[in-house]
């Protein structure tokens, strides 16, 4: 079993949401964190709230040079990387095609920017973060975990062909990365998993129309949103338990998706 105390996590999307919640949880358990985000004010607020076991870096996960800088900054600040947590992500929901109710003709469609920007952050950004941080881990002889964030959206959700496609792609990454590391004889040292949350209690969801939120919760057997700390707790256990690798772990309160996604 690995110990969190003094272990170093690199977390993207760390200025808010699941990334920020995880960083706080990790530090409470004795770990150290390099937080990356595009928002400098969000990062500064996070550092003030978490304390001196955190270093921050403004970075764009879609930029190759920034991703390299993220990994090398962690090495300079802490001397190692034990957990890679590429949690940066965006949504730009919309139907691929929207026929007009009266004419039956398509009146709107998802734009290329809506599709491409989500792919850039949620998929390319994950690839770059993992590639750059894993390189440092391998070269430095570090031991630990690459933990990706997928989603129940990977199963297919109407209005999210961009988001669902990226999360489905992320879901297969643990198997691919584990297989590649197995071939190179390092799969016992650097493991890879993905966590797939359902509906999480983030400000976006909690602030939505309460009737709409109620309809969402109608499909959740535990009757509530997932607390970000519950996701953080799962990630920490996945880190500690060295028998867990190459798979996706759902945390959704028993969510039942309807036939209409």
Catalytic residue positions, numbered: 163
Task: Rounding to the nearest 10 degrees, give the CA dihedral for residues 124, 200, 4, 34.
Answer: 50
Q: CA torsion sign, 193 to 196 to 202 to 204?
A: positive
Please tell me the total number of residues recorded for the chain in this structure. 261
Token code pair at residue 100? 């007009």
| Alpha-helix runs per DSSP H in the chain | 17-28, 40-50, 64-78, 112-119, 125-140, 161-183, 203-206, 210-217, 228-240
Query: Using CA atoms, how far apart are residues 195 and 147, in angstroms rounded to an integer?
Result: 7
Question: Treating both helix axes as pointing N-terminal to C-terminal, what angle do 161-183 and 125-140 enclose, rounded to 10 degrees?
Answer: 20
Q: CA torsion sign, 36 to 39 to 44 to 50?
A: negative
Looking only at Cα atoms, what is the longest distance across the chain? Answer: 63
DSSP symbol at 149: E
For residue 210, give every residue at least 6 positions away whose Cβ sits within 8 Å of its Cβ, in sequence order, or none.
Answer: none
Report the candidate in 143, 144, 129, 151 with the shortest Cα–Cα distance to residue 196.
Answer: 151
């Amino acid at each position: 079993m690995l110990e969190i105390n003094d272990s170093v996590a690199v977390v993207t999307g760390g200025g808010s949401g699941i990334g920020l919640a995880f960083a706080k949880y990790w530090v409470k358990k004795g770990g150290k964190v390099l937080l990356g985000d595009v928002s400098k004010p969000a990062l500064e607020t996070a550092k003030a709230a978490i304390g001196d076991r955190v270093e921050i870096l403004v970075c764009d996960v879609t930029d190759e040079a920034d991703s390299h800088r993220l990994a090398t900054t962690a090495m300079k600040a802490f001397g190692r990387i034990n957990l890679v947590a590429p949690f940066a992500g965006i949504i730009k929901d919309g139907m691929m095609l929207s026929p007009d109710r009266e004419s039956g003709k398509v009146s709107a469609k998802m734009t290329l920017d809506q599709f491409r920007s989500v792919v850039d952050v949620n998929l390319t950004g994950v690839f770059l973060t993992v590639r750059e941080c894993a390189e440092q881990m391998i070269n430095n002889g570090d031991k630990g975990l690459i933990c990706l964030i997928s989603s129940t959206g990977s199963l297919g959700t109407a209005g999210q062909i961009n988001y669902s496609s990226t999360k489905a792609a992320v879901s297969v990454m643990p198997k691919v990365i584990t297989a590649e590391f197995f071939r190179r004889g390092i799969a016992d040292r650097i493991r890879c998993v993905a966590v797939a949350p359902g509906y999480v209690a983030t400000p976006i969801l909690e602030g939505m129309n309460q009737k709409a939120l109620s309809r969402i919760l109608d499909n959740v057997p535990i009757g509530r949103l997932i607390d970000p700390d519950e996701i953080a707790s799962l990630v920490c256990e996945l880190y500690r338990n060295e028998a867990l690798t190459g798979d996706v772990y759902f945390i959704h309160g028993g969510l039942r998706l309807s036939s209409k996604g």
